[in-house]
Amino acid sequence: MKNVAVIGAGITGITLANLLQKKVNLTVFEKSRGVGGRMATRRAEPYQFNHGAQYFKIENKEFKNFLQPLIQNKIIKHLEANHIDILNKEVIKRTKTYNKIYYTPVSKMNSVVKYLINNNFFIKLLCKIDKTIKENDKWFIIDSDNASYGPYDWLFITIPPNQALEILYNNFKFLDIIKKIKMRSCYSLMLGFDKIKEFDFDTALFLDEDVQWLSIRKKIIENKKIL
Ligand SMILES: Cc1cc2nc3c(=O)[nH]c(=O)nc-3n(C[C@H](O)[C@H](O)[C@H](O)COP(=O)(O)OP(=O)(O)OC[C@H]3O[C@@H](n4cnc5c(N)ncnc54)[C@H](O)[C@@H]3O)c2cc1C
Return the CATH number at 37: 3.50.50.60
* 222 in a structural domain: no
Residue nearest atom 27 of ligand 1, based on CA coordinates: 10
Task: Kindly report which listed range (130-134, 135-139, 190-194) carries the lowest average pLDDT score.
Answer: 190-194
Nearest atom within ligand 1 for CA of residue 55: 8
Q: Give the integer Cα–Cα distance in Å for 110 and 197.
A: 28
pLDDT at 224 over 60: no
- Distance (angstroms) between ligand 1 centre and the Cα of 39 equals 6
Total domains, the chain: 1
Average pLDDT of every residue of the chain: 90
pLDDT greater than 60 at residue 227: no
Cα 15 from Cα 3, distance rounded (Å): 17
Ligand 1 atom closest to Cα of residue 36: 49
Specify the higher pLDDT residue, 221 or 108.
Answer: 108
- Assess whether the C-beta atom of 124 lies below 6 angstroms from ligand 1: no
- For position 223, what pLDDT does the model report? 40
CB 57 within 8 A of CB 33: no
* Structure-derived torsion over alpha carbons of residues 57, 61, 62, 66, reported in degrees to the nearest 10: 70
Establish if 78 belongs to a structural domain. Answer: no
Residue 28 resides in a domain: yes
User: Is pLDDT of 171 > 90?
Assistant: no
Whole-number Å distance, alpha carbon 87 to ligand 1 midpoint, is 29
Q: Is the CB of 215 within 6 Å of ligand 1? A: no
Residue 34 placed within a domain = yes
- Residue 184 pLDDT level (bands cut at 50, 70, 90): confident
Atom of ligand 1 nearest to the CA of 15: 25
Distance 169 CA to ligand 1 centre (A): 23
13 lines ligand 1 (CB under 6 A): yes
How far apart are the C-alpha atoms of 31 and 39, rounded to whole Å? 15
What residue owns the CA closest to ligand 1's atom 11?
56
Looking at residue 219, what is its pLDDT?
63
Q: Ligand 1 centre from 171 Cα, in Å?
A: 26
Count of residues in the chain? 227
| Cβ of residue 158 lying under 6 Å from some atom of ligand 1 | yes
Residue 185's pLDDT band (boundaries 50, 70, 90)?
confident
Q: Is 167 in the pocket of ligand 1 (CB under 6 A)?
A: yes
What's the predicted TM-score (pTM) here?
Answer: 0.91
CB atoms near residue 145 (< 10 Å)? 9
Instruction: Name the amino acid, one letter, at 144.
Output: S
pLDDT of 220 over the 60 cut: no
Residue 174 lies in a domain: yes
Q: Is there a domain that residue 62 lies in? A: no
Distance CA 23, CA 154 (A): 12
**Amino acid in position 135:** E
Which of the two residues, 217 and 182, has the higher pLDDT score?
182
- Can you give the pLDDT at residue 20? 93
Partners of 148 in the β-ladder? 142
210 occurs within a structural domain: no
- Dist CA 165 CA 177 (whole Å): 11
38 CA → ligand 1 middle, Å? 3
Tell me, yes or no, whether 194 lies in a domain: no
Which residues sit opposite 21 in a β-bridge? none
pLDDT band for position 9 (cuts 50, 70, 90): very high
User: Residue 45 belongs to what domain range?
Assistant: 1-51+109-188
